[in-house]
Amino acid sequence: MRKAFLFLTIVAACIAGGCKHQETPQPANTNTPGTTPTPTPNPAPTPNPNPADTGICFKRDILPIFLSNCAMSGCHDAISRQDGFQFTDYNSIINKEFVPGNANGTELYEKITEDDNDKRMPPPPRPALTADQVTLIRRWINEGAKNTDCSSDCDTNNFKFSTAVKPITEQYCKGCHNSAAPSAGIALDSYDGVKTVALNGRMLGAIKHLAGYKPMPQGGSKLSDCQVRQVEKWIAGGALNN
């Protein structure tokens, strides 16, 4: 009951202030990058019989969803930590009230599947996660919420806008840079939007973390060298819609 009230207050404040509601004292961030995750108090009740077969890579498929939809400044980045939740890396995501192996028992899953628009996360006006994203997160949790990394799939010689650049913007950028709520006035959910920042130099400056540009994805780690190289080569080739 108290929790529901607290949550409603936060949502109301969130709507009023676009996530920048009044500061509540938050516990210090105790996540140390690179350390093993803190064991969760609830052991996985339904271990996945076949965890190796998932094909889901946390770093490639799951983390970008969190970075792009939850880890914005004022919401769940390392500084804002609304309601004590931070979603910027593996350890912070699975730290709290997270039940690897049981999506239905995980509060975060409840929030992203909430039917009531006023209660769901991310809160309006941000779009809800897509059905595909929800399914991926559900599978990932039910399969044990592993910290998997499949970055070796990236190819810098054989790629196109549709097979490399578009998936990068969809995974890592669109949550903040969409037409409904474009951060910095930049919408990256269409070819034209991406092309504009590609050709004016800001996209490369931002993802290469060059001086004079805001480092992107904001609040997340840098794209892999291979992904940056793909974007760079795509731009050098004329930023074609291929």
* Positions in the binding site for ligand HEC (CB under 6 A): 67-68, 71-72, 172-173, 175-177, 183-184, 186, 188, 197, 202-203, 206-207, 213-214, 216-219
Residue whose CB is less far from ligand HEC, 31 or 88: 88
Check if the beta carbon of residue 98 is closer than 8 Å to that of residue 142: no
Residue whose CB is less far from ligand HEC, 9 or 229: 229
Question: How far is the C-alpha of 80 from the C-alpha of 136, rounded, in Å?
Answer: 26
Report, in Å, the least distance between residue 86 CB and ligand HEC.
13
Residue whose CB is less far from ligand HEC, 137 or 173: 173
Question: How far is the C-alpha of 183 from the C-alpha of 126, rounded, in Å?
Answer: 11
Report, in Å, the least distance between residue 53 CB and ligand HEC.
30
Question: How far is the C-alpha of 220 from the C-alpha of 164, rounded, in Å?
Answer: 19
Report, in Å, the least distance between residue 75 CB and ligand HEC.
8
145 Cβ neighbours under 8 A, 6+ residues apart: 58, 94, 98, 100, 101
Residue whose CB is less far from ligand HEC, 55 or 201: 201
Check if the beta carbon of residue 136 is closer than 8 Å to that of residue 55: no
Report, in Å, the least distance between residue 88 CB and ligand HEC.
9
> Is omega for the bond preceding 122 within 30 degrees of 0, making it cis?
yes
Check if the beta carbon of residue 44 is closer than 8 Å to that of residue 102: yes
Residue whose CB is less far from ligand HEC, 164 or 188: 188
Report, in Å, the least distance between residue 196 CB and ligand HEC.
9
Check if the beta carbon of residue 62 is closer than 8 Å to that of residue 136: yes
Supply 14's token pair. Answer: 């969130």
Residue whose CB is less far from ligand HEC, 62 or 99: 62
Report, in Å, the least distance between residue 151 CB and ligand HEC.
15
Question: How far is the C-alpha of 85 from the C-alpha of 91, rounded, in Å?
Answer: 11
Question: How far is the C-alpha of 131 from the C-alpha of 208, rounded, in Å?
Answer: 31
